[in-house]
Copies of this chain bind each other. A is one copy, B any other.
Amino acid sequence: MTQSLIAEIFEPLQSMRLIDPHTHINPLQAASSTLADILGYHYYTELAHSAGMPKVRIEEPGISPKEKVGRLVPWLATIENTAQYSWLLEMCQVFFDFKDDRITEANWESLYDYSLKKMQAADWEQTVLERTGLDQVYLTNDFDDPLIGFDTRKYVPCLRTDELVFHLTQPVVRERLQKATGVNPGNSGSLKRAIGILFDHFKKHGVRACAISLPPDFSPTMITATAADGVVAKVFSGLELTTDELSVLSRFVFWSLAEFCVEHRLPFDLMIGVNRRVYEDGVFQGLDLFDNRVSLIQYKALFNAFPQVVFPVSVLSETSNQELVSYSWIFPNVVTCGHWWYSNIPVYIERDTRARLQAVPQTKQIGYYSDMYKLEFALPKFAMYRRILAKVLAEDFVAGRRWSVAKAVSLGKNVLRGNVEAIFGKYE
């Protein structure tokens, strides 16, 4: 009974076209060129390294994509239990007609060669978009991205602001800011002017969100212009900041971003909880972890000060989900957003989904984003989410609360796509 009910709900969700509201896609090279683009995803290199593969095996300069894949393949046996591996298998099966249920030292080379031919087709990117049913892909753009050379209605710009908030101490970041804006900030006012120029530029190119990832100990508060002036002057003179000054600078820039979100009517994506560079010798992009000792109470001042700004909030630790549910239940401007990174595995997605559907208004839930670097990943990741969503809808709503299948599917569709359109703006 339940299995067929889940299937009945899954089918219409699975056939829906999608908007992916958070990715790391490079719109100038959105799809993979070789299997190395897929297996090079940090989820695989991290797990292979964690299982024993020396980092230098895959980060050795000059190795070809095929060589890199060949070096990773022997380690796949150690991670085939993982959800991440199941995505890999699904991609190979769907996109590259792979028939086996394991990628091994015996079969990888033919897979590599066959997939290469597929990916070399001129319309490969379009093929992936169509097969996946992707209408829009939201990006993560550096603040100085020129945003040209691609269709911003398909690949939607989002202004990523980690560097502005946390890395103005790096000369190269300050130089990029000055180059992008023509402003050489000497105080809080000119720094805000520079940031405003970035927002104007992004707004002109159809930006849909401002976005940032935040460490567990960050707690935003308002910093007055006067309090910020000295620190801004100091950092832009190239002087080193104390820890306290750094904190003033970060909070000043962060608060300014929220102000620009008011002005430009932009949602502000908060991705809360990551500690950077925890494993110093990790593979590329595989250094970061988290600390579950974080609370949304740290954002009390922010949520109160900016009722006009919608904050789609992602949390890294599953122990933060109940707070996210409760803050979204109380604050009109807080909405739940996806299942981020270390929480993006079925056991946590299912429980988070259940709690959100039980206690957050259905209009305030952005169900899922892929976080992908290459287009091929949207398909298996969204499929994983849709299977879980169908299961929760079947068990909790149709079986548990006697909803009709149609009503449950309608709820699923809103969470999966409708809310993305409503919250980030209508698809044009």
Interface residues of A (CB under 8 A from B): 46-47, 49-52, 78-84, 86, 101, 275, 278-282, 286-297, 300, 303-304, 307, 317-320, 322-323, 325-332, 342-343, 345-348, 351, 354-355, 357-364, 396-397, 400-403, 411
A300 — which chain B residues lie within 8 A by C-beta? 278
| Cross-interface CB contact of A332 among B49, B295, B317, cutoff 8 Å | B49
Known: A81-B361, A289-B326. 20 other contacts (CB 8 A): A50-B360, A50-B364, A51-B363, A78-B362, A80-B362, A81-B411, A82-B359, A82-B360, A82-B361, A278-B297, A278-B300, A280-B304, A281-B304, A289-B296, A289-B297, A293-B294, A319-B319, A322-B343, A345-B359, A347-B355
Task: Please state if B360 and A330 are interface contacts (CB–CB under 8 Å).
Answer: no
CA distance A322 to B278 in the complex (A): 16
Which of A81, A329, A351, A402 counts the most B-chain CB atoms under 10 A from its CB? A81
Evaluate whether A319 and B292 lie within 8 angstroms (CB atoms) in the complex, with A297-B275, A361-B82 already known.
yes
Evaluate whether A359 and B50 lie within 8 angstroms (CB atoms) in the complex, with A322-B343, A322-B348 already known.
no
How far apart are A348's CB and chain B's nearest CB, in angstroms?
7
A79 — which chain B residues lie within 8 A by C-beta? 361-362
Task: Please state if B401 and A358 are interface contacts (CB–CB under 8 Å).
Answer: no
A342 — which chain B residues lie within 8 A by C-beta? 322, 325-326, 329, 359
CA distance A79 to B356 in the complex (A): 11
Task: Please state if B295 and A281 are interface contacts (CB–CB under 8 Å).
Answer: no
CA distance A226 to B79 in the complex (A): 44
CA distance A79 to B323 in the complex (A): 18
Total copies of this chain within the assembly: 3
Task: Please state if B292 and A358 are interface contacts (CB–CB under 8 Å).
Answer: no
CA distance A359 to B341 in the complex (A): 11
CA distance A345 to B402 in the complex (A): 17
Task: Please state if B50 and A330 are interface contacts (CB–CB under 8 Å).
Answer: yes
CA distance A133 to B332 in the complex (A): 37
Which partner residue on chain B sits nearest A321 by CB separation? B318
Task: Please state if B345 and A358 are interface contacts (CB–CB under 8 Å).
Answer: yes
Could you write out 21 A-B pairs with CB less than 8 Å apart?
A: A50-B328, A50-B332, A50-B361, A78-B363, A81-B361, A81-B397, A86-B401, A101-B403, A278-B330, A279-B304, A280-B304, A281-B304, A286-B330, A289-B326, A293-B293, A318-B322, A322-B342, A322-B348, A325-B342, A345-B359, A346-B354
Task: Please state if B47 and A329 are interface contacts (CB–CB under 8 Å).
Answer: yes
How far apart are A279's CB and chain B's nearest CB, in angstroms?
5
How far apart are A267's CB and chain B's nearest CB, in angstroms?
15
